[in-house]
Amino acid sequence: MKVEIRYRDVDKIFVGTAEDVWACVNRFFAEFVPTFEVAGKLVLAVDLQFLAKDSEGLLGFSKEGVNLLVDKGKLTDNEALLMWLLGAYLGFRLGFLESDAFSKDDLQTKLGKSGKIVSTRLGELVKSGYVVKDGDDRFRLTTFGVMQVQKETFPRVRAKSA
């Protein structure tokens, strides 16, 4: 008897008598599958549908790009930057935008603050792991950053806009 099991990145073949193969297959499921399930729970993954639903009333998209639907004057600089970067992330994945990143100059214009302030705030966000700077000097949210914005920033922004 021969049994082949493919599970994610694992490919196992068991050959032998029916009893031997049965024992090996049972041992595989008992030992390996729980490990994969636990490891799968440790992987950060963004639920795009939930993120889009959660963004309603906070972000909007037009032919000009992503728009904050809340008064940016009520937000901290970091909150506003994170919201625009989240908008880029979401807009790109939904097909509304051509990129999921902004240049420092774009963010400076949106925030309406000096280059020094924007550089300082972006540096803080990079240091925190929320944002990365790519080789083209553009900034984008990390997966961790997306999840943290959704968990921490959204509630604060909603409270401030109520």
CATH number, residue 133: 1.10.10.10
pLDDT of residue 19: 85
What pLDDT score was predicted for residue 41? 73
Taking the CB of residue 149, how many other CB atoms lie within 10 A of it?
22
Cβ neighbours of residue 97 closer than 8 Å, sequence gap 6 or more: 61, 65, 66, 88, 91
Write out the residue range of the structural domain in which residue 29 sits: 2-42
Percent of the chain with pLDDT over 70: 98
Counted domains in the chain: 2
Residue 84: pLDDT band with limits 50, 70, 90: very high
Condensed to tens digits (0 to 9), the pLDDT of residues 17-66 reads 888 888 888 888 777 777 767 766 777 788 899 999 999 999 999 999 99
Same domain, 98 and 139: yes
Same domain for 130 and 55? yes
Residues 78 and 24 occupy one common structural domain: no
Residues 17 and 68 in one domain: no
Tell if the pTM clears 0.85, that is, is over it.
Answer: no
